[in-house]
Amino acid sequence: MTSSDHRPAAFFDVDNTLTRGAALFRFLAYWYAAQGRPPHDAVRERQRLKAMTTAGISRTETNRAYFRLLAGAPAAEITRVAEAWFRAELVRGGFFHEPVLDALHTHRRDGYQVVLVSGSFPAMLLPVLEHIGAHHVLCTEPEITPVSRTYTGRLADRPHQPMIGNAKAEAVRELAAAQRIDLASSIAYGDHVSDAPLLSLTDRAVIVGDDPDLRRLAAHHGWHRLPKPSPPPAVPLPEPNPAPPGAML
């Protein structure tokens, strides 16, 4: 592997790394509001998933549980709402964690391939990718029925699903082979100990925030650290647009 035929990449976790706060839950609040559902519905679902984590259930399983919330939703509607949500976040401001976004822009200017590696899903991530000029996205892929084009609430029957923990590292290895990326000259960013397999792949790594397990690994490996993002602003909510009778959102 030589510098003449391979290129470096910068790999970024998204929630609480590139963004301030958990974008998955911010989208959920926006989507529920767009349906005319009360704010406490989204709060209740977030608390339920956090309780699963507190009870020792893995991030892999809580990620699957999140996507069960999409069951029956038309894919086109989710895409439309996700695009509107991201536009509203940009107008509100404060969505991105600026030190990490600045690093991303620097890597891109230096010729790195920019790759988002996230437990989130395409409808949410593609607007982000286009806005920041990333080259690739590796993410969780919820299953969509081919005929009705609705979400089933399950994950697609593909490798590396959901995109959590070791799945991130495996997907990055495959992308590196396919895109001629030199991991030995690359860099990765993450905020949670579940990102450790990804961070361990690259020559350099940067942890974001104060995860104690990740800080111990950083001290051992000599990884750099960026500060934890400040709390994000309130989610910009849309005017309710309840679905017509019989519609599934």
Beta strands 151-155 and 142-144: pairing type?
antiparallel
CATH number, position 196:
3.40.50.1000
pLDDT mean across residues, the chain: 95
Q: How confident is the model at residue 3 (pLDDT cuts 50, 70, 90)?
A: low
- Does the residue 102 lie in any domain? yes
- Does the residue 112 lie in any domain? yes
- Does the residue 4 lie in any domain? no
Range(s) of the domain holding residue 26:
9-226
For range 114-142, the mean pLDDT: 99
- Does the residue 236 lie in any domain? no
| Cα-Cα-Cα-Cα dihedral sign, residues 184, 140, 174, 96 | negative
- Does the residue 2 lie in any domain? no
- Does the residue 235 lie in any domain? no
> Between vectors from CA 216 to CA 182 and to CA 9, what angle results, nearest 5°?
15
- Does the residue 204 lie in any domain? yes
- pLDDT at position 240, please? 72
Does 245 have pLDDT greater than 70? no
- Does the residue 248 lie in any domain? no
pTM: 0.93
Q: What is the pLDDT of residues 21-69, one digit of tens each?
A: 999 999 999 999 999 999 999 999 999 999 999 999 999 999 999 999 9
**In total, how many domains does the chain have?**
1
